Chains A and B, each alone.
Chain A
Amino acid sequence: MYIGKFRLPIMSSLLIWAALWEIAGRTGASFIIPPLSRIFARIIEIVPTPAFGDALWITGKAFILGNIIAICIGVPLGVLMGRSVIADRIFLPWVNMFLSSPLSALVPVIMVIFGAGQTTIVLTVVLFAIWIVVLDARAGVRNITPSLVEMARSFGANRFQAFSKIFVWAALPEILAGVRLGMIRAVKGVVIGQLLVSIVGFGRLFEIYSSRFLMEHFWALLFVLFAFAFAINEALAWLERRFEYFAASRN
């Protein structure tokens, strides 16, 4: 964007909002909005603490484990649904329903079954991430050129070979998009899971900070999470672009 002849750097609008926030914070209009500079000071203060390190470790474990489960189940299920009409009829209504339903409402149910612990949080991550992974893998497989499937068959590929050597690769651009969207949802899942269980990880820190009205700490933690989600998204988007070259040359 240009103002006169001056070219504004990307994300310069963020600077304007940051300035507004700082001013609003300094007027002391509400305790909910502390000045931005103090929040950043707080980030530097809390990130090296052991409490934060523990929370990051336990959250990271739940996040990664949940995503691995979501991918390992979601991709084969999506491929199966893309290839088999029967499987598609059986699973698609559920996938669509879970994709659009308010999943937070289900977390207490999981908690009743699996207790208020790490298992519940991992399952919450799976619950948030898996549906978009399934749906995108399915879409990818349905986009495969029919002759590529015929090629595999005519050279004698069995089902497993067709899955591992053709379907997964041919659908890779869509699968990666699904994994990326799934991981963004998983960030929500892990935080919501921890907030509802409220005794572990970042959820516990959020609970402590908000119940004691430590708004600077609260915002600092939130900003760190934003940064994580953004970094994950960018890393996967980069990976996606590396595989996009053949998405165009598939058909």
Chain B
Amino acid sequence: MTAAVAQKSAAPRAMVEVRHISKTYAGGVEALNDLSIDFAEGQLTSLLGPSGCGKTTLLKIIAGLIPATGGEVKVDGRVVTGPGPERAFVFQDFALMPWASVMRNVAFGLELKGMARSEREAVAEKYIASVGLKGFEKAYPHELSGGMRQRAGLARALAVNAKVLLMDEPFSAVDEQTRRKFQEDLLELIAREQKTFLFVTHSIEEAVYVSDRIIILSHRPSQVSSIVEPAIVRGGGPDQIRRDPAYLDTVESIWQSLKRYLD
């Protein structure tokens, strides 16, 4: 594991910097308290923690969708004051427009920017194909399965060509088998797209499988409990990863460290 840490911590700079972020909700619930984390450029970093630990809150603060009570977030060196074109969000419940076709949904970010129809549809077509939805451009969301809907959601986020992709439990509303296939495709996608991924999940296996780096958060108000960098060799394909002793050991050690939050 140490070898991998040394290799990675040397090169990449922080694309997303979270500095002393606090968030107290109107009801007095303290979700985050003085949290500071760096997210390295070009990596997939997972936020993992017990349910209700504020990981989605943190992701939405980074997205600029909800304001923090204190502290600041910098993305690519600039302070976040709201949503911006260098970030794109993938929603847990897909958030597709049910009245619009896959094509229009995927091109929606570009449509909002005022890109011409033929131009944005060409871009959307490319990303629809790259997430494996070729042939479904004219389909409507209610005609797709959950997994396919999230592929459309992912294509929409990719189409705007943001530097940072924020993914809020993207696979949690998808059935187990679809999710596995999706995770495998995601790894290919990460290798292909040179982007920074922030990934919120409650699944330890998923986090270990897809992440370069896992940030484990404690109970509310969230603190960084520990940081794990799975030393998994990615080259060998999905079956090899899932049988890799490093994969199994990392899952087990994270489970041991999270167990104490469950009572």
Which A positions have Cβ atoms within 8 angstroms of B? 145, 147-148, 150-157, 161, 165-166, 169-170, 172, 243, 245-246, 249-250
Contacts and interface: CB of A to CB of B under 8 A. Distances in A.
A151 B113 CA distance: 14
Contacts of A245: 142
A246 B99 contact: yes
Interface stretch (B8-16, B89-97, B186-194): B89-97
Interface in B107-127: 108-109, 111-113
B93 A154 contact: no
Contact of A147 (B84, B85, B95): B95
A150 B141 contact: no
Contacts of A153: 65, 82-83
Listed residue (A150, A154, A165, A245) with the most chain B CB atoms within 10 angstroms of its CB: A154
B83 A151 contact: no
Given A155-B83, A172-B99, A246-B99, A150 B112 contact: no
B63 interface: yes
Given A148-B97, A154-B89, A169-B99, 9 more contacts: A148-B95, A151-B91, A152-B112, A154-B64, A155-B88, A155-B156, A156-B85, A156-B109, A172-B99
Contacts of B83: 153-156
B48 interface: no
A249 B109 contact: no
Contacts, number: 61
Interface of B: 60, 63-65, 82-85, 87-89, 91-93, 95, 97-99, 108-109, 111-113, 141-142, 156, 160
Contact of A155 (B93, B99, B112, B141): B112
A161 B112 contact: yes
A154 B92 contact: no
Contacts of B89: 150-151, 154-155
A246 B98 contact: yes
A250 B98 contact: yes
A141 to B, nearest CB: 15
Contacts of A165: 108, 111-112
Contacts of A157: 112
Contacts of A145: 93, 95
3 shortest interchain CB distances as A-B pairs: A246-B98, A151-B95, A155-B109
B85 A150 contact: no
A155 B111 CA distance: 10
Listed residue (A145, A150, A155, A166) with the most chain B CB atoms within 10 angstroms of its CB: A155
A83 to B, nearest CB: 16
A150 B65 contact: yes
B142 A249 contact: yes
Nearest to A161: B112
